[in-house]
Structure 1
């Protein structure tokens, strides 16, 4: 079922989601009065200014201004798109996402279902006589049947249509196989299997769904490893192999070990190292790093000790610099020549390998040693060169504390005390506008009414008649009318779900600011203030209408309806 997610589902989802619990799973919160506080996860600060309101189900940072509901938090903190954030919350709440049939968006569920069947097909092929060669290979690599099952490892025999025969029984299915990257369309028509005579490694996302495959040959043919291409459900730069299994095996992850291949991940799991993941035949991206940091505070990058391995390690360091914040750590483990994680752990055992991981080189040490190799530190010009090489790297670091400590390390190495780069705090201060000391503008009744209603949706029940707002030309009248009309139809809406109705509309940011606006009105008189503001809006409207009719009567006779309206307005004014 394709299409847009119905608004009533989003309302229900946000009602079921406890924002404090969601944010607490990622950011430590401390109760402060009616709200919870923390140091903001979106900018560096020493004094907590990030507030989470259980009543409104909204968060707001008084330092950087970021604010939102549960969906917005996942989009910001986990770098998810809207659909992925909703899926994450739905999974937590145990809900299935419905779709609006009126929308024509792509339905990806058939592709997930197809790849699940492909996974089973490859597993079944491993058990056949034709799979004996693959089983022997896996046994030779020291893998047990239990680990093979854990990673859903399978096999496909030689042949151009093994999978097509099993899963491509109709033209629609053959097209799906091509769309999912499992089959390739011929130029002259027809299809053939992408993977042939390979051990198959399903790539599984965090929700346990197969999204692609990696295949390893059993002979000396090339390419040795073949991955699924980019598809609507598989993006190499955003996924890693083995993360699902690592999350299943560990309630919490102290660290993640990032290795280079599928077999490394599987072999390490065989020896009890259940926290290894691998990139999918592509260089490490910032999306990879952010994905991994959602689940741990420490990444250890494991590379061969040769020139190629160290080049890859350096690229990973450069990518990591901008992602380090809030105490996150990056370290590097370089293996002895001729070894990979698979061969080394079989040779040394789990305990010794684990010790290597724990003794991995911190990023700051690796950075300094790498750039020092290019400089003659016995001369002033060599030390100056090191400072020059370090400067653009330090400037990539966004976290002020880590940046300052890294700069101090470089300063000590080159023997200087002056700053190599301009402090982040100084940059921020220089970019700040000069504060205005003019008196703040008085709050209009319209702004106060909308702000109080967003923060207290239940106040709509005290308004008996509001349809006259449709005739009000004052700025914000149409918005107040829409809010009241929606709340009349759906009185159960919270602040968070009410705002969600405006996410795609121009007024969203304005409403979000009003939702977090401190009106400095005690809660016990807030509803009274709301009613007073609404009555002033109505009074202003009546005055506008009265003045218009009084000006009209000077130039022409009024109609019977206009006379009646004038009589009512004069009566209301005298009350």
Structure 2
């Protein structure tokens, strides 16, 4: 805790007029100063600063107050963090209240030097002219270039290396932060070559990495990102998050894009509350960042098939943070940037008033696309998707979409309701005990789930378990598919990010994965589930699951034939012999 006397001193000694002027353009009227509120979207100024009382207040939102509280709200930080930052500005010794010095301050400082170098290189160097021409062709203004701190990395250069070396930075730090690489002969070169540079900042506005867009027509890698480092984690970062905070507060929502130029082009049209996932699947950490600054999000991904699929994957992650979700429907399969270029800023702005739908309607329409309601398979797939969507929905929303679904399928509404919803509560409760499976099935499925949870812990675990199992060793088909996908993910990315992994799954398997694994207490508490002995035990149990499946099938067929007067005796004997041989094989293999 910070001493009350220190808090009072910070509030008294901080010049509120100078502080507020960092964020708002103010005009003097009488004793006070007025400007447009940094907290809400408005046309008539309601934000006032009183130097005499040393307070700054927004009359519309009632936000602001004395210096610490105003700074806390406008920076979206804690009261203690705001007090410490303002105290340091005043040179006040914060004593024990001072938070730990950021261990990465040296990294941030170096990356900011690199960011400023790239920015200057774009604006003032001969090399940067080509990149400026490219931006001009895309109608990106000088003001926008400066707001986003866009830069340029020269072709086949060691300029960044030389510049940092001249300033005394260690080459090991340059490599560690992903701006320089070393050749086999020991010479160094810049990682980014002939690329338009997008600096990436964290939630506090610190530069943590870069993304570079190639200007070479034949270059296969269009965008190159900084490698993940101690300060840069793609799944925990949103492009333009810090820079857009004031506009997000005014708009009272976040617009979520996929790409950099979507954010930049939208910013120029006046849609300034935009952030981007940098082309990767949305993560829980990114959704949490959105929730910290707003309760509402508009998802404005590309309008093509991959974009629509990505929206469908993002919605459950945003729903988990209890966000109000709208989806911007962009016609003709265009992304926001292309739409603006094709139809202009005014048409794009109109989309936000005319072409947004809620998350339920988007998914309903998305699942309906391409379905033939004269085809039973399409009907079932569509109905199943809608039912999964409504699993956790409010009862009123469920009933609304049951009615829409029944109308589209031309059936009675009770035909689309889940069976338990057309029973009485008493009937449902009576049937609950029958839902549990037999012990033997539970044994196989439990072993399989424990193995997959262990695979999620590390790539080493996954490789050990996968090497011991064949494709036919499974208890539940969903688990078999997830196990295969887990191995594919490790081969592609090297380490597991379960949020990103779940986004790669189709809706049916993603829902199953979230329910079965991400909500598992062992996963949530990060507990180690199986040691080597436990892995071997569960592998043996799962290997016997194929016997159990075949045995169950044979017993069912024999029972059906026994009750059939016209049974095929030869077929009956064939099943009986196979069942007997299967039981012998189980015993010889150590099965029970």
- TM-score bin, normalised by smaller chain: 0.5 to 0.7
The CA deviation at 1:117 is 0.5
Tell me if 1:354 matches 2:352.
no
Which of 327, 333, 344 is 2:339 aligned to?
A: 344
Flag the 1:333–1:299 CA change in 2: closer, same or farther, 3 A: farther
The CA deviation at 1:347 is 3.3
CA contact (8 A) 2:248 2:293 kept: no
Please report the TM-score for the alignment, with normalisation by the length of structure 2: 0.51
Q: Distance in 1 between matches of 2:319 and 2:208?
A: 29
CA contact (8 A) 1:273 1:350 kept: no
Which of 261, 275, 278 is 2:276 aligned to?
A: 278
The CA deviation at 1:194 is 1.3
Tell me if 1:410 matches 2:401.
yes
The aligned residue for residue 34 of structure 1 is none
The CA deviation at 1:270 is 2.0
Which of 265, 268, 279 is 1:267 aligned to?
A: 265
Flag the 1:375–1:268 CA change in 2: closer, same or farther, 3 A: closer
Secondary structure of 1:336's counterpart equals: helix
The CA deviation at 1:309 is 2.1
CA contact (8 A) 1:227 1:281 kept: no
Q: Distance in 2 between matches of 1:87 and 1:168?
A: 37
Q: Distance in 1 between matches of 2:343 and 2:192?
A: 34
Secondary structure of 2:315's counterpart equals: helix
Flag the 1:389–1:169 CA change in 2: closer, same or farther, 3 A: same
Q: Distance in 1 between matches of 2:8 and 2:361?
A: 45
Flag the 1:146–1:372 CA change in 2: closer, same or farther, 3 A: closer
The aligned residue for residue 385 of structure 2 is 389
CA contact (8 A) 2:259 2:277 kept: yes
Which one has more relative contact order, counting CA pairs under 8 Å at least 6 apart? 1
Tell me if 1:305 matches 2:303.
yes
Q: Which moved more, 1:195-204 or 1:376-385?
A: 376-385
Q: Distance in 2 between matches of 1:98 and 1:179?
A: 33
Gapped regions of structure 1 (runs ≥ 5): 1-6, 18-79, 431-575
Flag the 1:132–1:92 CA change in 2: closer, same or farther, 3 A: same
Q: Which has the higher helix share?
A: 2
CA contact (8 A) 1:260 1:278 kept: yes
The aligned residue for residue 165 of structure 2 is 168
Q: Which moved more, 1:151-160 or 1:314-323?
A: 314-323
- 1:148-547 equivalences in 2 (<5 Å): 148-169=145-166, 173-186=170-183, 189-220=186-217, 221-249=219-247, 251-325=249-323, 328-337=324-333, 339-358=334-353, 359-373=355-369, 377=373, 386-395=382-391, 397=392, 402-412=393-403, 413-414=405-406, 415-416=412-413, 420=418
Flag the 1:106–1:382 CA change in 2: closer, same or farther, 3 A: same
Please report the TM-score for the alignment, with normalisation by the length of structure 1: 0.52
CA contact (8 A) 1:321 1:393 kept: no
Tell me if 1:115 matches 2:111.
yes
Flag the 1:242–1:15 CA change in 2: closer, same or farther, 3 A: same
CA contact (8 A) 1:387 1:410 kept: no
Q: Distance in 2 between matches of 1:10 and 1:158?
A: 56
The CA deviation at 1:114 is 0.5
**1:197-225 deviation digits (Å, cap 9, x = unpaired):** 11111112232221111111111213111
Flag the 1:149–1:106 CA change in 2: closer, same or farther, 3 A: closer
Q: Distance in 1 between matches of 2:295 and 2:257?
A: 17
Flag the 1:302–1:13 CA change in 2: closer, same or farther, 3 A: same
Flag the 1:217–1:91 CA change in 2: closer, same or farther, 3 A: farther
The CA deviation at 1:112 is 0.6
Q: Distance in 2 between matches of 1:188 and 1:14?
A: 60
Flag the 1:298–1:188 CA change in 2: closer, same or farther, 3 A: same
**1:272-327 deviation digits (Å, cap 9, x = unpaired):** 221222112311112222211222232222233322222222222343332335xx
CA contact (8 A) 1:212 1:228 kept: yes
The aligned residue for residue 491 of structure 1 is none
CA contact (8 A) 2:330 2:351 kept: no
